[in-house]
Amino acid sequence: MTSLLKTINGFQIFHKCLKQSIDMITIPKRNKYLPKPRYRHPEWLPKPQRVLYDEQLTRDNKEFIDEVVKDKYPSTETKLSPLKIDPIEPIVEWKPDMQRTGLIAKKIGVYPLWLKNGKKVTSTLLQIVDNEVVKYIPPEEFNPVKTRTPPIQVKNRRGCLVVGAENIDPQLVTKEYYGIFNNAGVTPKRILRRFIISPQAALQPGTPLFATHFKPGEIVDIRGKTIDRGFQGVMKRWGFKGMPASHGVTKTHRRPGNIGSGGTKARVMPGTKMPGHMGNKWRIIRGVRILRINTKYNVIWVLGHNIPGEVNTYCYMYDTLLPLKKHKTAPNFPTYLPTITEESLSEELYADDVHPFTNPTLEFKENS
Protein backbone atom coordinates (compact mmCIF):
# COMPACT_ATOMS: atom_id res chain seq x y z
CA MET A 1 0.00 0.00 0.00
CA THR A 2 2.84 2.33 0.78
CA SER A 3 4.56 1.65 -2.54
CA LEU A 4 1.29 2.27 -4.41
CA LEU A 5 0.86 5.68 -2.78
CA LYS A 6 4.43 6.61 -3.65
CA THR A 7 3.84 5.62 -7.25
CA ILE A 8 0.62 7.66 -7.50
CA ASN A 9 2.25 10.62 -5.79
CA GLY A 10 5.02 10.56 -8.39
CA PHE A 11 2.64 11.38 -11.25
CA GLN A 12 2.16 15.11 -11.90
CA ILE A 13 -1.55 14.54 -12.71
CA PHE A 14 -2.52 13.49 -9.17
CA HIS A 15 0.06 15.60 -7.36
CA LYS A 16 -2.27 18.56 -6.83
CA CYS A 17 -5.25 16.41 -5.95
CA LEU A 18 -3.59 14.58 -3.12
CA LYS A 19 -3.55 16.42 0.22
CA GLN A 20 -0.35 16.18 2.16
CA SER A 21 -0.73 15.89 5.94
CA ILE A 22 2.00 17.58 7.93
CA ASP A 23 2.06 17.67 11.73
CA MET A 24 2.87 21.24 12.80
CA ILE A 25 4.37 21.73 16.26
CA THR A 26 4.07 25.27 17.63
CA ILE A 27 6.73 26.38 20.03
CA PRO A 28 5.77 29.39 22.18
CA LYS A 29 8.02 32.40 22.08
CA ARG A 30 10.10 32.67 25.21
CA ASN A 31 10.88 36.32 24.55
CA LYS A 32 7.20 37.13 24.89
CA TYR A 33 7.27 36.58 28.64
CA LEU A 34 10.76 37.88 29.36
CA PRO A 35 11.06 41.61 30.07
CA LYS A 36 13.20 43.65 27.74
CA PRO A 37 16.60 44.54 29.23
CA ARG A 38 17.34 48.12 30.10
CA TYR A 39 20.54 49.44 28.64
CA ARG A 40 22.03 52.01 30.97
CA HIS A 41 25.43 53.54 31.33
CA PRO A 42 27.27 52.09 34.32
CA GLU A 43 27.78 54.26 37.38
CA TRP A 44 31.55 54.27 37.01
CA LEU A 45 31.43 55.66 33.47
CA PRO A 46 32.18 59.42 33.56
CA LYS A 47 29.40 61.51 32.12
CA PRO A 48 30.33 63.70 29.14
CA GLN A 49 30.78 67.34 30.04
CA ARG A 50 29.47 69.34 27.12
CA VAL A 51 28.27 72.86 26.51
CA LEU A 52 25.06 73.35 24.57
CA TYR A 53 25.92 76.79 23.28
CA ASP A 54 29.31 78.48 23.27
CA GLU A 55 28.06 81.90 24.31
CA GLN A 56 31.54 83.24 25.17
CA LEU A 57 30.29 85.12 28.21
CA THR A 58 32.60 87.54 29.93
CA ARG A 59 33.29 87.33 33.63
CA ASP A 60 30.98 90.25 34.44
CA ASN A 61 28.12 88.77 32.45
CA LYS A 62 28.59 85.40 34.12
CA GLU A 63 28.41 86.97 37.58
CA PHE A 64 25.28 88.90 36.58
CA ILE A 65 23.55 85.69 35.43
CA ASP A 66 24.46 83.95 38.71
CA GLU A 67 22.93 86.82 40.69
CA VAL A 68 19.69 86.56 38.70
CA VAL A 69 19.52 82.82 39.36
CA LYS A 70 20.07 83.32 43.10
CA ASP A 71 17.37 86.00 43.25
CA LYS A 72 14.84 83.82 41.43
CA TYR A 73 15.68 80.62 43.35
CA PRO A 74 16.68 81.48 46.93
CA SER A 75 18.60 78.79 48.76
CA THR A 76 17.08 76.64 51.48
CA GLU A 77 19.52 77.91 54.12
CA THR A 78 16.75 80.04 55.59
CA LYS A 79 14.78 76.81 56.24
CA LEU A 80 11.72 78.40 54.62
CA SER A 81 10.11 77.37 51.40
CA PRO A 82 10.19 80.01 48.61
CA LEU A 83 6.65 79.03 47.61
CA LYS A 84 4.87 78.06 50.84
CA ILE A 85 5.84 79.86 54.06
CA ASP A 86 2.53 79.56 55.89
CA PRO A 87 1.77 76.36 57.81
CA ILE A 88 0.15 73.60 55.83
CA GLU A 89 -3.56 73.28 56.53
CA PRO A 90 -5.14 71.18 57.78
CA ILE A 91 -2.80 69.46 60.25
CA VAL A 92 -4.16 65.93 60.57
CA GLU A 93 -3.66 63.83 63.67
CA TRP A 94 -1.50 60.77 63.06
CA LYS A 95 -3.01 57.28 63.06
CA PRO A 96 -1.13 53.95 62.90
CA ASP A 97 -2.43 53.09 59.42
CA MET A 98 -1.20 56.34 57.84
CA GLN A 99 1.96 56.48 55.73
CA ARG A 100 4.10 59.61 55.35
CA THR A 101 6.85 60.55 52.93
CA GLY A 102 10.53 59.66 53.15
CA LEU A 103 13.81 61.46 52.49
CA ILE A 104 16.59 61.31 49.92
CA ALA A 105 19.90 60.97 51.76
CA LYS A 106 23.53 61.13 50.66
CA LYS A 107 25.96 58.61 52.10
CA ILE A 108 29.01 60.52 53.34
CA GLY A 109 30.94 58.01 55.47
CA VAL A 110 31.15 55.64 58.43
CA TYR A 111 31.70 56.78 62.03
CA PRO A 112 31.91 55.04 65.43
CA LEU A 113 29.56 55.75 68.33
CA TRP A 114 29.44 54.53 71.92
CA LEU A 115 26.42 53.43 73.87
CA LYS A 116 25.85 54.23 77.52
CA ASN A 117 26.75 50.68 78.52
CA GLY A 118 30.23 51.15 77.00
CA LYS A 119 29.64 49.17 73.81
CA LYS A 120 31.17 50.54 70.60
CA VAL A 121 28.98 50.46 67.49
CA THR A 122 29.55 51.47 63.87
CA SER A 123 27.22 53.97 62.24
CA THR A 124 26.76 55.39 58.75
CA LEU A 125 26.37 59.13 58.14
CA LEU A 126 23.56 60.16 55.80
CA GLN A 127 23.12 63.82 54.87
CA ILE A 128 19.81 65.30 53.71
CA VAL A 129 20.77 67.66 50.87
CA ASP A 130 18.21 70.26 49.69
CA ASN A 131 15.16 68.02 49.97
CA GLU A 132 11.97 69.68 48.76
CA VAL A 133 8.54 68.55 47.63
CA VAL A 134 8.21 68.88 43.86
CA LYS A 135 4.78 67.43 43.10
CA TYR A 136 1.85 65.63 44.69
CA ILE A 137 -0.22 63.12 42.72
CA PRO A 138 -3.61 62.30 44.31
CA PRO A 139 -4.86 58.70 44.44
CA GLU A 140 -7.31 59.33 41.59
CA GLU A 141 -4.51 60.29 39.19
CA PHE A 142 -1.75 58.02 40.48
CA ASN A 143 -1.39 54.88 38.34
CA PRO A 144 1.59 52.74 39.38
CA VAL A 145 3.63 50.74 36.90
CA LYS A 146 1.73 47.64 35.77
CA THR A 147 3.53 44.43 36.65
CA ARG A 148 3.05 40.84 35.61
CA THR A 149 1.15 40.06 38.81
CA PRO A 150 -2.05 42.03 39.41
CA PRO A 151 -1.75 44.72 42.10
CA ILE A 152 -3.22 44.15 45.51
CA GLN A 153 -6.56 45.86 45.91
CA VAL A 154 -6.12 48.27 48.81
CA LYS A 155 -9.23 49.56 50.51
CA ASN A 156 -7.75 52.99 51.16
CA ARG A 157 -5.86 54.04 48.04
CA ARG A 158 -2.66 56.00 48.45
CA GLY A 159 -1.18 58.91 46.56
CA CYS A 160 2.32 59.73 45.43
CA LEU A 161 4.71 62.49 46.52
CA VAL A 162 7.66 63.44 44.30
CA VAL A 163 10.67 64.66 46.30
CA GLY A 164 13.83 66.22 44.84
CA ALA A 165 17.34 66.57 46.24
CA GLU A 166 20.54 68.57 45.47
CA ASN A 167 20.02 71.87 43.70
CA ILE A 168 21.61 72.29 40.26
CA ASP A 169 22.12 75.21 37.92
CA PRO A 170 18.91 75.87 35.90
CA GLN A 171 21.01 76.81 32.86
CA LEU A 172 22.38 73.28 32.53
CA VAL A 173 19.07 71.40 32.24
CA THR A 174 16.76 70.90 29.29
CA LYS A 175 13.57 72.86 28.74
CA GLU A 176 11.35 69.82 29.43
CA TYR A 177 13.14 68.95 32.68
CA TYR A 178 13.07 72.58 33.77
CA GLY A 179 9.29 72.71 33.31
CA ILE A 180 8.78 70.16 36.10
CA PHE A 181 10.27 72.53 38.67
CA ASN A 182 9.04 75.76 37.11
CA ASN A 183 5.44 74.70 37.75
CA ALA A 184 6.26 73.89 41.37
CA GLY A 185 8.34 77.03 41.95
CA VAL A 186 11.43 75.22 43.28
CA THR A 187 15.05 75.06 42.20
CA PRO A 188 15.79 72.27 39.68
CA LYS A 189 16.98 69.12 41.43
CA ARG A 190 19.49 66.50 40.42
CA ILE A 191 17.66 63.56 42.04
CA LEU A 192 13.92 62.81 41.95
CA ARG A 193 12.18 60.10 43.93
CA ARG A 194 8.56 59.01 44.38
CA PHE A 195 7.16 58.02 47.79
CA ILE A 196 3.81 56.31 48.31
CA ILE A 197 1.89 58.22 51.00
CA SER A 198 -1.57 58.50 52.49
CA PRO A 199 -3.72 61.40 51.27
CA GLN A 200 -3.62 62.87 54.79
CA ALA A 201 0.19 63.20 54.56
CA ALA A 202 0.16 65.27 51.36
CA LEU A 203 2.50 68.28 51.25
CA GLN A 204 2.35 71.27 48.98
CA PRO A 205 5.10 71.77 46.37
CA GLY A 206 8.00 73.78 47.73
CA THR A 207 7.83 72.41 51.27
CA PRO A 208 11.38 71.76 52.55
CA LEU A 209 12.20 68.46 54.25
CA PHE A 210 14.89 68.26 56.93
CA ALA A 211 16.68 65.55 58.90
CA THR A 212 14.30 66.24 61.79
CA HIS A 213 11.59 64.57 59.72
CA PHE A 214 12.71 61.52 61.73
CA LYS A 215 13.38 61.25 65.45
CA PRO A 216 16.34 59.52 67.15
CA GLY A 217 15.44 55.96 68.00
CA GLU A 218 13.02 55.43 65.09
CA ILE A 219 13.33 52.44 62.75
CA VAL A 220 13.61 53.09 59.00
CA ASP A 221 14.16 51.16 55.78
CA ILE A 222 16.98 52.28 53.44
CA ARG A 223 17.03 51.52 49.72
CA GLY A 224 20.15 52.06 47.65
CA LYS A 225 22.16 50.70 44.74
CA THR A 226 25.10 48.48 45.60
CA ILE A 227 28.68 49.14 44.50
CA ASP A 228 29.38 48.08 40.92
CA ARG A 229 32.13 45.41 41.06
CA GLY A 230 32.01 44.41 37.40
CA PHE A 231 32.57 40.82 36.26
CA GLN A 232 33.78 38.73 39.20
CA GLY A 233 34.53 35.08 39.89
CA VAL A 234 32.74 32.74 42.26
CA MET A 235 35.15 33.30 45.16
CA LYS A 236 34.44 37.02 45.37
CA ARG A 237 30.86 36.96 44.10
CA TRP A 238 29.55 34.03 46.16
CA GLY A 239 32.27 33.41 48.74
CA PHE A 240 33.45 30.04 47.42
CA LYS A 241 36.43 28.44 49.14
CA GLY A 242 38.25 27.49 45.95
CA MET A 243 40.40 24.46 45.19
CA PRO A 244 43.52 23.44 47.18
CA ALA A 245 46.77 25.20 46.43
CA SER A 246 48.82 22.01 46.20
CA HIS A 247 48.53 18.18 45.96
CA GLY A 248 48.28 17.99 42.21
CA VAL A 249 45.83 20.86 41.59
CA THR A 250 46.64 22.47 38.25
CA LYS A 251 45.22 25.87 37.24
CA THR A 252 41.94 25.40 39.12
CA HIS A 253 42.70 27.25 42.35
CA ARG A 254 39.91 29.83 41.96
CA ARG A 255 37.57 27.81 39.75
CA PRO A 256 34.03 26.81 40.80
CA GLY A 257 34.58 23.10 40.13
CA ASN A 258 31.84 20.62 39.19
CA ILE A 259 28.36 22.17 39.01
CA GLY A 260 26.57 18.80 39.01
CA SER A 261 24.72 19.13 35.70
CA GLY A 262 25.62 15.77 34.20
CA GLY A 263 23.60 12.58 33.91
CA THR A 264 19.90 12.80 33.24
CA LYS A 265 19.65 16.59 33.71
CA ALA A 266 22.30 17.47 31.15
CA ARG A 267 21.76 21.18 31.60
CA VAL A 268 22.66 24.02 33.93
CA MET A 269 19.98 24.43 36.58
CA PRO A 270 18.54 27.95 36.98
CA GLY A 271 20.06 29.84 39.90
CA THR A 272 23.42 28.07 39.83
CA LYS A 273 26.10 30.21 41.45
CA MET A 274 28.54 31.01 38.68
CA PRO A 275 30.81 33.92 37.65
CA GLY A 276 29.07 37.02 36.39
CA HIS A 277 28.31 40.68 36.96
CA MET A 278 28.43 41.70 40.61
CA GLY A 279 26.79 44.74 42.19
CA ASN A 280 24.94 47.74 40.71
CA LYS A 281 21.57 46.40 41.91
CA TRP A 282 18.90 47.90 44.13
CA ARG A 283 18.89 46.51 47.66
CA ILE A 284 16.77 47.34 50.71
CA ILE A 285 18.10 47.21 54.28
CA ARG A 286 15.13 46.93 56.65
CA GLY A 287 14.93 47.69 60.34
CA VAL A 288 17.77 50.24 60.59
CA ARG A 289 17.76 52.29 63.79
CA ILE A 290 18.53 56.03 63.95
CA LEU A 291 21.11 56.84 66.63
CA ARG A 292 21.88 60.54 66.23
CA ILE A 293 20.70 63.60 64.27
CA ASN A 294 22.52 66.88 63.63
CA THR A 295 20.00 69.65 62.94
CA LYS A 296 22.58 72.19 61.74
CA TYR A 297 24.00 70.16 58.84
CA ASN A 298 21.02 67.78 58.40
CA VAL A 299 23.07 64.65 59.09
CA ILE A 300 21.60 61.36 60.35
CA TRP A 301 23.61 58.59 62.04
CA VAL A 302 22.11 55.14 61.43
CA LEU A 303 23.24 51.89 63.02
CA GLY A 304 25.46 49.65 60.90
CA HIS A 305 27.96 50.08 58.09
CA ASN A 306 26.15 47.88 55.54
CA ILE A 307 24.15 50.62 53.87
CA PRO A 308 24.22 49.85 50.12
CA GLY A 309 26.14 52.20 47.84
CA GLU A 310 29.44 54.02 47.63
CA VAL A 311 30.31 57.25 49.39
CA ASN A 312 28.61 60.33 47.83
CA THR A 313 25.80 58.22 46.35
CA TYR A 314 22.13 58.70 47.19
CA CYS A 315 19.79 56.34 49.00
CA TYR A 316 16.17 56.59 50.08
CA MET A 317 14.92 56.51 53.69
CA TYR A 318 11.35 55.88 54.75
CA ASP A 319 9.45 54.47 57.70
CA THR A 320 9.97 50.75 58.09
CA LEU A 321 7.43 48.26 56.78
CA LEU A 322 8.27 45.61 59.36
CA PRO A 323 5.08 45.03 61.36
CA LEU A 324 6.79 44.60 64.74
CA LYS A 325 8.99 47.70 64.40
CA LYS A 326 6.50 50.28 63.20
CA HIS A 327 5.73 53.51 65.04
CA LYS A 328 4.12 53.08 68.45
CA THR A 329 4.13 56.80 69.22
CA ALA A 330 3.20 59.66 66.92
CA PRO A 331 6.04 60.77 64.59
CA ASN A 332 6.44 64.19 62.99
CA PHE A 333 3.35 63.94 60.79
CA PRO A 334 3.22 64.81 57.94
CA THR A 335 6.73 66.24 58.47
CA TYR A 336 8.70 68.54 60.75
CA LEU A 337 7.66 72.14 60.10
CA PRO A 338 9.88 74.70 61.86
CA THR A 339 7.39 77.50 61.16
CA ILE A 340 4.67 76.05 63.39
CA THR A 341 6.77 74.44 66.11
CA GLU A 342 7.20 76.53 69.21
CA GLU A 343 10.12 74.64 70.76
CA SER A 344 13.49 75.03 69.07
CA LEU A 345 15.51 71.85 68.71
CA SER A 346 19.09 71.56 69.89
CA GLU A 347 21.90 71.07 67.43
CA GLU A 348 22.57 67.45 68.47
CA LEU A 349 19.81 64.89 69.09
CA TYR A 350 20.69 61.45 70.48
CA ALA A 351 18.78 58.24 71.08
CA ASP A 352 18.14 57.18 74.67
CA ASP A 353 20.94 54.60 74.81
CA VAL A 354 23.61 56.62 72.91
CA HIS A 355 26.35 58.34 74.88
CA PRO A 356 26.75 62.04 73.90
CA PHE A 357 30.32 63.22 73.43
CA THR A 358 29.72 66.30 75.57
CA ASN A 359 28.91 64.23 78.69
CA PRO A 360 31.74 62.96 80.89
CA THR A 361 32.65 59.36 80.35
CA LEU A 362 33.66 58.56 83.94
CA GLU A 363 32.32 60.02 87.13
CA PHE A 364 34.38 60.07 90.36
CA LYS A 365 32.56 60.48 93.65
CA GLU A 366 34.17 61.13 96.99
CA ASN A 367 33.71 58.49 99.66
CA SER A 368 31.42 59.72 102.38
CATH number of the domain residue 183 falls in: 3.30.160
**Tally of domains within the chain:** 2
Residues 184, 282: one domain? no
Domain range holding 194? 133-143+158-200
β-strand partners of 278 = 230
- Examine the domain organization and report whether 288 and 214 are in the same domain: yes
Among 88, 169, 83, CA closest to 132: 83
Tell me if 118 is assigned to some domain.
Answer: yes
Task: Name the band, by pLDDT with cuts 50, 70 and 90, for residue 284.
Answer: very high
* 42, part of any domain: no
Question: Hey, how many other C-beta atoms are within 10 angstroms of the C-beta on 138?
Answer: 12
Q: Tell me which DSSP letter residue 12 carries.
A: S
Greater pLDDT, 301 or 94: 301
Let me know whether 215 and 188 are in one domain.
no
Q: Is there a single domain that holds both residue 183 and residue 311?
A: no
Examine residue 19 and state whether it is found in any structural domain, yes or no. no
Give the length of the chain.
Answer: 368
Q: Does 305 map to a domain?
A: yes
Q: Are the C-beta atoms of residues 347 and 133 closer than 8 Å to each other?
A: no
Contact 113, 202 (CB under 8 A): no
Burial class (CB in 10 A: 0-12, 13-18, 19+), 255: middle
CATH number for the domain harbouring residue 125: 2.40.30.10
Per-residue pLDDT tens for 43-62?
666 665 555 666 677 888 88
- Decide if 295 is inside a domain: yes
Q: Are residues 297 and 219 in the same domain?
A: yes
317 belongs to a structural domain: yes
- Average pLDDT of span 81-103: 70
What are the C-alpha distances in Å from 97 to residues 127, 272, 274, 296?
28, 41, 43, 32
Question: Do the domain assignments include residue 265?
Answer: no
Query: 309 and 225: one domain?
Result: yes
**What pTM was estimated for this model as a whole?**
0.73
User: Does 194 fall in a domain?
Assistant: yes
Per-residue pLDDT reduced to its tens digit, 205-252: 888 999 999 999 999 999 999 999 999 999 999 999 999 988 899 999
Asked whether residue 220 falls in the same domain as residue 303, the answer is yes
Residue among 197, 219, 205, 213 nearest 104 (CA): 213
Asked if 138 and 177 sit in the same domain, the reply is: yes
Q: Are residues 188 and 283 in the same domain?
A: no
- Same domain membership, residue 353 and residue 221: yes
- What is the rounded CA–CA span in Å between residue 191 and residue 49? 18
Query: Same structural domain for residues 282 and 194?
Result: no
Shared-domain flag, residues 216 and 346:
yes
Cα–Cα distance for residue pair 222/321, rounded to 1 Å = 11
Q: Are 46 and 138 in contact (CB under 8 A)?
A: no
Q: Measure Cα distances from 99 to 26, 143, 211, 319 in Å.
A: 49, 18, 18, 8
Q: Which of 200, 169, 193 is nearest to 318 (CA)?
A: 193
